[in-house]
Amino acid sequence: MKFIVSSSSLLKQLASINGVITTNPVVPILENFLFEIEEGKLTVTASDLQTSMITEIEVESKENGNIAVPAKILLETLKNLPEQPVTFSIDEDTYSVEISSDNGRYKLAGENATDFPKVPTVSDDFSVDMSTEVLSSAINNTIFATSNDELRPAMTGVYMNLTDTNTTFVSTDGHRLIRYRRVDVASENGNAIIIPRKALNLLKSTLPSENTNVSVEFNVSNAFFRFNNIRMICRLIDERFPDYENVIPVDNTNTMFIDRSELLSSLKRIAIYANKTTHQVRLKITGSELQISAEDLDFANEANERLSCEHDGEDIEIGFNAKFLIEMLNNVDSDKVELRLSEPNKAGLLIPTDKSDNEDILMLVMPVMLNNYV
């Protein structure tokens, strides 16, 4: 079997799905790309069993055939070749692959394509369409707050709940929680799934910057994403997502409005002086002044800044992990944010004040106890 393809277009396609491949896969064949040629079309699959990505590219070829090609060597080769058509010649008996270019010939040992694990297909599925813009902002807004705790698998992914009026994406690591809601995506039949973080990270890096449609199909065990010429299939997290609505306080009446970038840059400076394990910063709101301070007594470091804000409520002093606040503020593009608090030991809410009509963002963060609070 033989086919000819442009080195740079093939590289581009391979690079977009290469992220799936792990360095030490469960079965060694998963270090390969699966090449399948049919009617002049090359379908490439990369998989780690949990997640698979598939892309397609037109090639010049007279025959049909399959082969598994070592991913790392192939990618390195293509990266270092100047743009040109390259010819792949595959010996279907020995699975050897020969690549010839203007520069020379490269021979590598492929593997039998039939050994490559079968990618699941989604049947009896539920489908919904959304734009790449919606999907990528949903991912960007939630993924950073997912948990790494493998003992609580439900929290290692992002929960997506479709209803007839909106779609809600939720992530939490137990210390903070993000609820990102879109009213421009809805489905008459409600349904909810938990998408693993790895799949979302791959989507995040592969979704094209130009706005296009993503078709999402899923059943209880797998989800299927399709955009442009790329498909991704991932196994879903089959767990019950925590009852997140119950932990979102509704009576946080101590509110403060503040310039987002001022708060963010202040926190970045103050955080340098915070204790390195707790990252605790102290927010003290008195009248219309926010005082941010931190100290690390082990090194006799301390820092203190004052910002002005609009504040409605009792004076309050509350501690937070600066890293959490910084991460949250970094993921918001509103000019101003609102902080809704109640008590120094109760959840605080961070809400961007300007947002698009179609979205609703709520960020919850649990405090770090200040010890002068009794």
Residue 370 contacts another protein per CB under 8 A: yes
Give every CB contact of residue 94 below 8 A, 6+ residues apart in sequence.
Answer: none
- CB count within 10 Å of CB 286 equals 13
Tell me which residues in 345-364 interact with another protein (CB under 8 A).
345, 347, 364
Residue 247 contacts another protein per CB under 8 A: yes
Residue 152 contacts another protein per CB under 8 A: yes
Tell me which residues in 212-231 interact with another protein (CB under 8 A).
none
Radius of gyration of the chain from its Cα atoms, rounded to whole angstroms: 25
Start-to-end CA span in the chain (Å): 76
Residue 153 contacts another protein per CB under 8 A: yes
Query: Could you tell me the smallest distance in angstroms from the CB atom of residue 368 to another protein?
Result: 4
Query: Could you tell me the smallest distance in angstroms from the CB atom of residue 280 to another protein?
Result: 4
The answer to whether 285 and 256 are in contact (CB under 8 A) is yes
Q: Which is nearer to another protein, 174 or 208 (CB)?
A: 174
Backbone CA torsion sign across 16, 20, 23, 29: negative
Residue 319 contacts another protein per CB under 8 A: yes
Q: Which is nearer to another protein, 110 or 367 (CB)?
A: 367
Residue 46's H or E segment, with its range, is strand 41-47
Residue 239 contacts another protein per CB under 8 A: yes
Interface residue with another protein among 124, 151, 210, 250 (CB under 8 A) is: 151
Side chain identity, residue 362: L
The answer to whether 249 and 346 are in contact (CB under 8 A) is yes
Stretch that binds another protein, among 56-64, 80-88, 236-244, 303-311 (CB under 8 A): 236-244
Burial (CB count within 10 angstroms: exposed 0-12, middle 13-18, buried 19+), residue 250: exposed
What's the rounded Cα separation, in Å, for the pair 268 and 246? 31
Q: Which is nearer to another protein, 175 or 198 (CB)?
A: 175
Residue 174 contacts another protein per CB under 8 A: yes
Interface residue with another protein among 242, 259, 317, 362 (CB under 8 A) is: 242
Burial (CB count within 10 angstroms: exposed 0-12, middle 13-18, buried 19+), residue 249: middle
Residue 369 contacts another protein per CB under 8 A: yes
Q: Which residues contact another protein (rule: CB under 8 A)? A: 151-153, 172, 174-175, 177, 239, 242-244, 247, 275, 278, 280, 295-298, 319, 321, 345, 347, 364, 366-372, 374
